[in-house]
């Protein structure tokens, strides 16, 4: 007899539990606040000094960094395909990197370089100080920030990918404020007073040419380690710890290689030299992180499939939609296609349909049952959105010629002219997207819902609701309004 | 009483979060203050000769100037005159007779004492400041690669402060390798702004 495969228990993440940064009962929240107060004074003082000495250069630096930070932050945010992290926590991670980690790292780096100078000589400190001091110090303070975020809202890091998201945001904050230091340093070094030319050059170098290889990359690697430790409870504790510490060490090594004078003489000056510098010293780690992110994304997609598997192949989530939700581009393509078929409102409704389908998975991870009332309500919501989408008239004739006039939908009634002519009977009633009884109804309308009939086809009535939704119903059941 | 208060305060926190938060805070404190402590207790590099003798209160006299040393700074005899050091950041003092104002002194020093000895040299236009008891001064930054061969110092960032008192031009040249000067600038500017003229 063939033995049935042993059932596997699918452990799902806690996507349905969302918390903000403001967790006053968590001691880590107060540690964050105290450190923020302590370090923000020094960071603010430094920025005010820059503003005082090089006002135009400093303001231009901030402008350029906005151009860098906003797209990178959005990219990090949108890489998270399913459970997007709460904005307050992402901002907190950014602030930790840009204020707390920077504020703690500056004096510590200085002290460590001095210690190197005393123990190994000035030459060692000059040549290797940046490589030996900054990587362990800065990576440690950034990594501790990720741990603090985890302690504040530990249910929010519910996958390896989330570790990457928070790590990358901490790194982005650090890079932003550190870049201001470099930009202002470039102005001072240029010898031409307060000017924006050196800022532009340094921006091109640090944000465009080698921006992908630095703090976001290093902290992202360390964040994946934390994500692994925090969520892979199916693995032995020693292994989780080893992976976390190993990836943290890898981040330190990547930073060390970047800062070290090694290979500095091999690459030439100018743009080609800088590009080569980035490729040699940064791209191996960048590729590694890319692979890790890809695997983590696949894992999240798998969870999404598991969470929604009881709802596929019906009118809640089709297999095609499930596949489309697995990637940003496929989502956008589906919205674009809906827009081409149904106009801008169609694209908007397709976006909403996708959001509600993802929300179904969020709720499912919280309720642990496909029959929970919240799940059933969400399914109804999805059906309603789908009905709205399907009820929208097509905006273009199919390829091959104009649609015969007899089959063209009449122009929808203007919204401002909507006045109800009928209402749904007390028992409620089914509605269809097309007048075809062989197809399943798309939605059940609530009793008493006011409707306006604007087309008749035999016993079928085409109705429109006050919110613009349209559909076909059995006109004989409608209750006329006097 | 205090213990009871502390316990009631702790009771408001998530008990699962207390221990790890204490550990994280401990690591931050240990690394941050530990580095400062180790640096403070380590002796200065050998080979440094005795410099201007510190006065009571941690001040040193250099010519007519009395400089209050910030924490961690040492006065030594540098190769071209008195020098204050902390780690591999140095502040050199050069006093020579000079006829002109602070901006002229700054520009002269940049043109004659720095630029010829560096490659890739650049200096900012000086900004007007006040030194110590209202002495008009000029201050700016510079960078460049100094020295060649075995004497190479490498990429240096510096800040120059120049002022003139009674026909004596004073140039204070604070410098260090790239990235090392900036964390020390607050100390350096504080020491210069509190200079006393004897």
For residue range A75-101, what is the model confidence (pLDDT) as tens digits? 999 888 887 889 999 999 999 999 999
Q: What pLDDT, on the 0 to 100 scale, is given for residue A6?
A: 38
Closest CA to A32 of A88, A100, A111, A113: A100
| Share above pLDDT 90 across residues of chain A, in percent, rounded to a whole number | 33
Q: What is the pLDDT of residue A280?
A: 86
Average pLDDT over residues A151-159: 88
pLDDT digits (tens, 9 = 90+) for A168-209: 999 999 999 999 988 887 776 565 567 788 888 889 888 888
The residue of chain B with its CA nearest to that of A129 is B180
Residue with tokens 């502390």: B6
CA–CA dist B173, B185 (Å, integer): 12
Residue A108 contacts B where some CB pair is shorter than 8 Å? yes
- In sequence order, the 6+-apart residues with CB closer than 8 A to the CB of B122 are A189, A190, A191, A192, B142, B143, B144
Distance CA B154, CA B152 (A): 5
Interface test with A, best of B27, B41, B180 (most A CBs within 10 A): B180
Can you list the pairs that B55-61 forms with residues at least 24 positions away whose Cβ atoms lie under 8 Å?
Answer: B60/B84, B61/B198
- pLDDT of res. A225: 96
Phi, psi of B13 (to 5 degrees): -85, 155
Q: What pLDDT does residue B51 have?
A: 47
A404-439: pLDDT as tens digits: 333 334 444 444 456 888 888 888 888 888 887 777
Q: Do B143 and A189 touch (CB under 8 A)?
A: yes
CB contact under 8 A, A107 and B183: yes
Distance CA B32, CA A299 (A): 38
B177: which chain A residues are within 8 Å (Cβ-Cβ)?
125-126, 129
Q: What pLDDT sits at residue A149?
A: 96
Question: Rounded to the nearest 5°, which phi and psi values hold at A246?
Answer: -65, -45
Residues with Cβ within 8 Å of B184's Cβ and at least 6 positions away in sequence, in order, are A110, B86, B87, B89, B174, B176
**Per-residue pLDDT tens digits for A457-469:** 778 888 888 777 7
**Contacting residues of A for B45, CB less than 8 Å apart:** 117-118, 121-122
ipTM of the complex: 0.73
Distance in angstroms (rounded) separating the CA atoms of residues A287 and A257: 16
User: For A127-133, which contacts have Cβ atoms below 8 Å and span 24 or more sequence positions?
Assistant: A127/A261, A127/B154, A128/A260, A128/A261, A129/B88, A129/B177, A129/B179, A129/B180, A130/A259, A130/B178, A130/B179, A131/A256, A131/A259, A131/A260, A131/A261, A132/A256, A133/A109
Provide the angle, in degrees to the nearest 10, between the axes of the packed helices A27-53 and A122-152. 130
Hey, are the CB atoms on B154 and A126 less than 8 Å from each other? yes
User: For all residues of chain B together, what is the average pLDDT?
Assistant: 81
Contacts of B154 in chain A (CB under 8 A): 126-127
> B51-94, pLDDT tens digit by residue?
455 554 478 888 888 888 887 788 887 777 788 888 778 899 98
| Chain A residue closest in CA terms to B48 | A118
Of B21, B31, B35, the CB nearest to A28: B21
Beta strands in B57-153 (DSSP E): 59-62, 65-68, 74-78, 81-86, 89-97, 118-123, 127-131, 135-146
Q: Give the chain A residue whose CA is nearest to the CA of B154.
A: A126
Q: Is B141 on the interface with A (CB under 8 A)?
A: yes
Is the Cβ–Cβ distance between B188 and B196 less than 8 Å?
no
pLDDT band at A42 (very low <50, low <70, confident <90, very high): confident
> pLDDT tens across A21-32, in order?
999 999 999 999
Q: How far is CA A112 from the centre of its chain?
A: 37
Distances (CA, A) of A52 to A43, A45, A56, A80: 14, 10, 10, 40
pLDDT at A409: 44
Residue A124: CB partners within 8 Å, gap ≥ 6? A116, A117
| pLDDT at A73 exceeding the cut of 60 | yes
Cβ of B13 within 8 Å of Cβ of A129? The answer is no
Write down the residue that tokens 């380590």 correspond to: B42
What whole-number distance in Å separates Cα of residue A267 and Cα of residue A245?
A: 32
**Residue A227 to residue A325: CA distance in whole angstroms:** 23
CA distance B41 to chain A (A): 10
- Which chain B residues are within 8 Å of A144, Cβ to Cβ? 24, 27-28
Gap between the Cα atoms of B146 and A330, Å rounded: 56
State chain A's mean pLDDT as an integer. 83
Report the residue from A111, A113, A191 with minimal CB separation from B124: A191
H/E run at residue A480: strand A479-480
Spell out which residues of chain B touch residue A148, defining contact as CB-CB under 8 Å. 21, 24
- A318 versus A417: which is more confidently predicted? A318
Both tokens assigned to A359: 């929300």
Higher pLDDT, A231 or B3: A231
pLDDT tens-digit map of B138-190: 999 888 777 554 444 566 889 999 999 888 899 999 998 777 788 788 888 88
Judge: A114–B88 Cβ closer than 8 Å, yes or no.
Answer: yes
Nearest-Cα distance to chain B for A104, in Å, is: 7
Mean pLDDT, rounded, for A236-253 = 96
Cβ of residue A119 closer than 8 Å to a chain B Cβ: yes
Pick the most confident of A250-259, A418-427, B188-197.
A250-259
* More confident position, A331 or B132: A331
Q: What is the pLDDT of residues A374-409, one digit of tens each?
A: 888 888 888 888 888 888 887 644 333 333 333 334
For residue B27, name the pLDDT band (cuts at 50, 70, 90). Answer: very high
Structure confidence by residue, pLDDT tens digits, B31-62: 999 999 998 888 765 444 444 555 544 788 88
Chain B hits for A259, Cβ within 8 Å: none
């Amino acid at each position: 007899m063939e033995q049935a495969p042993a059932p596997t228990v699918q452990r799902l993440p806690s996507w349905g539990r969302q918390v903000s940064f403001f967790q006053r009962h968590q001691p880590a929240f107060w540690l964050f606040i105290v450190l923020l107060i302590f370090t923000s004074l020094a960071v603010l003082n430094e920025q005010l000094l820059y503003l005082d000495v090089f006002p135009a250069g400093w303001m231009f630096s901030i402008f350029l960094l906005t151009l860098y930070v906003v797209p990178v932050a959005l990219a990090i945010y949108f890489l998270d395909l399913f459970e997007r992290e709460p904005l307050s926590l992402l901002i907190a991670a950014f602030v930790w990197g840009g204020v707390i980690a920077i504020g703690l790292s500056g004096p510590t780096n200085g002290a460590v370089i001095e210690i190197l100078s005393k123990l190994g000589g000035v030459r060692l400190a000059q040549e290797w100080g940046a490589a030996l001091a900054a990587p362990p110090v800065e990576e440690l303070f950034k990594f501790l920030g990720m741990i603090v975020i985890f302690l504040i809202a530990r249910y929010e890091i519910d996958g390896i990918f989330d570790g990457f998201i928070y790590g990358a945001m901490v790194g982005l904050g650090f890079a932003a404020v550190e870049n201001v230091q470099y930009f202002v340093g470039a102005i001072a070094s240029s010898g031409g007073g307060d000017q924006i030319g050196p800022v532009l050059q340094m921006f091109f170098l640090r944000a465009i040419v080698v921006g992908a290889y630095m703090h976001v990359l290093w902290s992202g690697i360390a964040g994946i380690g934390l994500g692994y430790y925090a969520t892979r409870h199916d693995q032995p504790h020693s292994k989780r710890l080893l992976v976390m510490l190993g990836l943290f060490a890898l981040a330190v090594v990547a930073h060390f290689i970047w800062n070290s004078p090694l290979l500095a003489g091999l690459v030439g000056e100018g743009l080609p030299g800088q590009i080569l510098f980035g490729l040699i010293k940064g791209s191996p780690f960048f590729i590694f992180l890319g692979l890790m992110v890809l695997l983590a994304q696949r894992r999240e997609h798998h969870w999404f499939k598991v969470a929604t598997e009881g709802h596929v192949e019906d009118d809640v989530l089709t297999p095609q939609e499930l596949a489309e939700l697995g990637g940003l581009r496929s989502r956008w393509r589906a919205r674009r296609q809906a827009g081409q078929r149904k106009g801008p409102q169609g694209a908007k409704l397709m976006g909403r349909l996708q959001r509600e389908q993802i929300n179904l998975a969020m709720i499912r991870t919280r309720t642990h049952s496909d029959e929970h009332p919240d799940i059933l309500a969400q399914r109804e919501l999805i059906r309603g959105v789908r009905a709205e989408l399907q009820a929208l008239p097509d905006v273009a004739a199919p390829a091959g010629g104009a649609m015969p006039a007899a089959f063209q939908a009449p122009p929808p009634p203007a919204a401002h002219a909507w006045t109800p002519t009928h209402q749904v009977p007390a028992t409620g009633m089914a509605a269809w997207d097309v007048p075809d009884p062989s197809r399943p109804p798309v939605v059940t309308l609530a009793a008493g819902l006011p409707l306006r009939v604007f087309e008749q086809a035999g016993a079928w009535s085409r109705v429109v609701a006050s919110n613009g939704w349209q559909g076909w119903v059995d006109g004989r059941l409608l209750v006329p309004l006097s | 009483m205090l213990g009871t208060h502390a316990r009631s305060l702790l009771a408001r926190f998530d008990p699962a979060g207390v221990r790890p938060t204490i550990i994280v805070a401990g690591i931050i404190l240990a690394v941050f203050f530990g580095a400062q402590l180790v640096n403070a207790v380590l002796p200065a590099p050998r080979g440094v000769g005795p410099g201007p003798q510190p006065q009571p209160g941690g001040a040193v006299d250099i010519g007519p100037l009395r400089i209050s040393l910030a924490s961690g700074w040492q006065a030594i005899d540098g190769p071209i005159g008195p020098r204050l050091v902390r780690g591999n950041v140095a502040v050199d003092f050069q006093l020579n007779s000079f006829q002109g104002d602070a901006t002229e002194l700054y520009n002269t020093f940049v043109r004659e004492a720095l630029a010829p000895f560096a490659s890739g040299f650049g200096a900012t236009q000086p900004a007007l400041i006040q030194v110590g008891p209202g002495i008009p001064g000029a201050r700016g930054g510079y960078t460049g690669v100094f020295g060649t061969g075995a004497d190479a110092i490498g990429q240096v960032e510096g800040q120059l402060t120049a002022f003139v008192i009674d026909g004596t031009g004073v140039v204070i040249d604070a410098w260090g390798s790239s990235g090392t000067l900036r964390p020390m600038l607050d100390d350096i500017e504080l020491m210069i702004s509190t200079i006393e003229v004897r």
